[in-house]
Amino acid sequence: MKRFLLLCLLGCLTFSASARDIYQLNDGWEFFFKSENTSDNARIVSLPHSWNTDPLAGQNFRETTGNYLREVYIPDEWASKRIFIRFNGAQTVADLFLNGAHVGEHKGGGTAFCFELTDLIRFGMDNSLQVVVSNTFRSDVLPVSTDQNLYGGLYREVELIVTEEQAISPLYYGSEGVLCRPSRVTKERVEGEMEVHLLTNPNTDATLRLEIFNAQGKTVYTRSQRVMGQHKSVRIPFLFEQPRLWSPENPNLYTASVRFSNDSFQDEVSIRTGFRSVERDEKSGWIAINGSPQRLHGVVLHHDNALGGLLGSMELEEDLKMAQELGATAIRSALQPHEQTLYHRCDEQGMLVWIDLPMHRAPFIGDVAFYSTPAFEHNAREQLREIIAQNMNHPSVIMWGIFSRLVPRGEEILQCVRNLNTEAKRLDPKRLTVACSDQDGPINFLTDLIAWRQDVGWQRGSTADLTLWRDQLKANWSHLGSAVTYGGEGFLGMSARAPQLAQRSLPTEERQTRFHEEYSRQLEADSLFWGTWVENMFEYGSARRPYGLNANGLVTLDRREKKDAYYLYRAMWNKEAKTVHLANRRDRQRYNAQQSFTIYSSEPHPVLVINDDTVRLHKIAPVIYRSDTLQLRGQVQVRVSAGGVGDGVTMQVGNVLRPQARPGLR
């Protein structure tokens, strides 16, 4: 049956002896756990697939090893071809076997990887693929410390690539084999090189032809050059005048097509890219795109939703749309890269991107985030190279994250970070490097930019201490390229208004809201920082935490509920949409007769009406309004309006206690 299906697929394609073909291998996999010992009871699954599909499984979250099996029929007609298999993601370590022989191993869950199968193929018959995938802890594979669930399995798609004997290589760090390297970008001209990785032999005599098209399909540049002998890579220079530069306001894109051919073979790869300059503006300290300083409003994205880590193109599209509705101008792919679909959409829509290397420390005392071993540092370098090679063509990606929240204990970790930063600049000198730090010391001076992870007023001190820290930073370290990243948990269904739970330390939504109000009020207009980053856009699964959830998100894990802090930032950041929001509107049973109300409004002069009475509002910060304390009892109708939009709720005010809901999704 599998052979029949593959032959039907082949028959539906226009078979060409002179170009590559790509076939999806997502269906018909058999899956079973290694602990089952046999495939007798294997499940038939389609990719993407994970054996962890419940982010809230807590102690039942599985860190284990699984097997994926599939038969692939390879026709005799391909005997003169080269056959490759590309995995877009396997969490976290994957070993591939073909017909019982080991093909290769890949270590790292966030990047794609490709193996050549040609020498092990049995043409004209079925070939057996087996992929052994493990998401268990290993000290030689990053990340070694995280509170985000690593959802085990082949959680992204797989494809078979068929090329001629000589071709553009799909093997270069999981990339497309064509890397765009602009060297000079101005309003008048763009120049640079197209780096092309090749599969050739000593007798090669062929032509590489580069064509660059604008968005309207018009050719703006073309160049051909001869390739003779064996080459691993070739660089094709390009230069054209009057470019339409890419920027957040005008995300102009170009298509670059590279054809490798002679009389007996042909291969072609097209990429989409854009041209812009990225640098730190020395005067403002901000990030300059095409010479224009930008102050970023960023949100941090993790890698799951209520169905686990299977984020496809549709889910990523919806997540990006929600971030845009918030008014965010940048996203950070925390811990590791997202699937390529997300960055393609950021290219199209002008969203700026920071992508992290998994050099990360979770907030658990028992975790070790850095191992000073050659294997650990080798894996860090390999993952960094993959991240850069696979994402270099995206104009939306403006910085590479080198580490997050490391504790600099010893010279070894400083040297490792220094080496990684140097490697990132060698591979891609036209982008910035960045790190997220909550420590003092020399580790903060190794990257181009630093984003300070700040939590005063949450775990320690008060939010008033933020002003002292900011003033000290401005007085002593204003030369650093500084941003701020912050956040705190806010569980829906947990309220500190019930007398038995009225504790300051509870991670209630109300406490989260007040924290964000204070931080945004003190930081939003401060020109010292090149950006503010909110952690996080969405809640994410964390089996290591109570309730199996990190509730820092502005939106719940299932994307159904937007918390009050979401509307705070929407009112501040989104200049296109009108926002009027009544904070704490979920709390409809209140126990204290003394009540005040907070409003977030992007529109001036909001009007608050309680029952039939208009109540005075005080503007305490940009977009934040608060009423005086009122004496209320019984059923109370609260309405607020401004600029033709409004919000409201009917609540009960009294002293009757109710059972406290367990925090979690609603």
Do residue 362 and residue 322 come from a single domain? Answer: yes
Helix (H, G, I), strand (E, B) or coil at 519: helix
The enclosing domain of 447 has a CATH number of 3.20.20.80
Confidence of residue 643 (pLDDT cuts 50, 70, 90): very high
Q: Residue 11 above 50 pLDDT?
A: no
To 10 degrees, what angle do helices 374-391 and 411-427 make?
30
Do residue 310 and residue 161 come from a single domain? Answer: no
Least confident of 52-61, 155-164, 503-512: 503-512
On whether residue 285 sits in a domain, the answer given is no
Do residue 99 and residue 198 come from a single domain? Answer: no
Number of domains in the chain: 4
Do residue 532 and residue 604 come from a single domain? Answer: no
Do residue 340 and residue 432 come from a single domain? Answer: yes
Long-range contacts of 276-279 (CB under 8 A, 24+ apart): 276/185, 276/245, 276/246, 276/247, 276/395, 277/185, 277/186, 277/430, 278/398, 278/399, 278/430, 278/431, 278/432, 279/432
Helix (H, G, I), strand (E, B) or coil at 388: helix
Do residue 613 and residue 509 come from a single domain? Answer: no
Do residue 106 and residue 250 come from a single domain? Answer: no
pLDDT tens across 227-274, in order? 999 999 999 999 999 999 999 999 999 999 999 999 999 999 999 999
Q: Residue 501 above 90 pLDDT?
A: no
On whether residue 612 sits in a domain, the answer given is yes
What average pLDDT does the structure give for the chain? Answer: 93
On whether residue 583 sits in a domain, the answer given is no
Q: Which of 390, 304, 272, 385 is nearest to 340 (CA)?
A: 390
Q: Residue 514 above 70 pLDDT?
A: yes
Which residues have C-beta within 8 Å of that of residue 157, sequence separation ≥ 6?
24, 26, 47, 48, 88
- Residue 33, burial from CB neighbour count under 10 angstroms (0-12, 13-18, 19+): middle
For residues 194-213, average pLDDT = 97
Helix (H, G, I), strand (E, B) or coil at 438: coil
Residue that has been written with the tokens 């420390």 in this structure? 361
Q: Residue 75 above 80 pLDDT?
A: yes
Residues 168, 269: Cα–Cα separation, whole Å: 7
Residues 571, 327: Cα–Cα separation, whole Å: 8
* Single residue among 526, 549, 577 that ends a domain in this structure: 577
Confidence of residue 461 (pLDDT cuts 50, 70, 90): confident
For residues 471-478, average pLDDT = 91
Contact assessment for residue 617 and residue 606, using Cβ atoms and an 8 Å cutoff: yes
Residues 86, 171: Cα–Cα separation, whole Å: 9
pLDDT tens across 541-575, in order? 999 998 899 999 999 999 999 999 999 999 999 99
Contact assessment for residue 102 and residue 91, using Cβ atoms and an 8 Å cutoff: no
Q: Residue 536 above 80 pLDDT?
A: yes
Which is higher by pLDDT, 426 or 59? 426
Phi-psi region of 6 (alpha: psi -120 to 50; beta: other; left: phi over 0): alpha
Domain interval for residue 93: 2-165
Do residue 18 and residue 120 come from a single domain? Answer: yes
pTM, two decimal places: 0.94
Q: Provide the pairing of β-strand 589-590 with 540-541.
A: unpaired
Contact assessment for residue 433 and residue 425, using Cβ atoms and an 8 Å cutoff: yes
Q: Which of 165, 160, 79, 83 is nearest to 118 (CA)?
A: 83
Do residue 79 and residue 40 come from a single domain? Answer: yes
Do residue 542 and residue 595 come from a single domain? Answer: no
Residues 165, 187: Cα–Cα separation, whole Å: 41
Contact assessment for residue 62 and residue 91, using Cβ atoms and an 8 Å cutoff: no
On whether residue 420 sits in a domain, the answer given is yes
Q: Residue 648 above 70 pLDDT?
A: yes
* Single residue among 527, 542, 577 that ends a domain in this structure: 577
| One-letter amino acid for residue 626 of the chain | R
8-state DSSP, 501 = G
- Residue 429, burial from CB neighbour count under 10 angstroms (0-12, 13-18, 19+): exposed
Confidence of residue 12 (pLDDT cuts 50, 70, 90): very low
Radius of gyration of the chain (CA): 27
Residues 199, 100: Cα–Cα separation, whole Å: 26
Do residue 538 and residue 603 come from a single domain? Answer: no
On whether residue 467 sits in a domain, the answer given is yes
For residues 319-346, average pLDDT = 98
Q: Which of 536, 541, 549, 538 is nearest to 487 (CA)?
A: 536
* Single residue among 247, 278, 309 that ends a domain in this structure: 278
pLDDT tens across 93-132, in order? 999 999 999 999 999 999 999 999 999 999 999 999 999 9
The enclosing domain of 34 has a CATH number of 2.60.120.260
pLDDT tens across 285-304, in order? 999 999 999 999 999 999 99
Q: Provide the pairing of β-strand 43-45 with 82-87.
A: unpaired
pLDDT tens across 64-73, in order? 999 999 999 9
pLDDT tens across 382-440, in order? 999 999 999 999 999 999 999 999 999 899 999 999 999 999 999 999 999 999 999 99
Residues 518, 603: Cα–Cα separation, whole Å: 20
On whether residue 409 sits in a domain, the answer given is yes
8-state DSSP, 76 = G
On whether residue 638 sits in a domain, the answer given is yes
The enclosing domain of 240 has a CATH number of 2.60.40.10
Residue 554 — φ and ψ, nearest 5°? Answer: -75, -15
Q: Which helix (H) or strand (E) holds 319?
A: helix 313-326
Confidence of residue 452 (pLDDT cuts 50, 70, 90): very high
DSSP string, 541-602: E-TTSGGGEE---SB-TTS--B-HHHHHHHHHH-SSS--EEETTTT--EE--SEE--EEEES
Q: Residue 6 above 70 pLDDT?
A: no
**Looking at residue 497, what is its pLDDT?**
52
Do residue 268 and residue 231 come from a single domain? Answer: yes
Residue 509 — φ and ψ, nearest 5°? Answer: -60, -40
| One-letter amino acid for residue 60 of the chain | N
3-state secondary structure string across 31-63: EEEHHHCCCCCCEEECCCCCCCCCCCCHHHCCC
**Looking at residue 495, what is its pLDDT?**
63
Copy the structure tokens of residue 296: 């970023």
On whether residue 380 sits in a domain, the answer given is yes
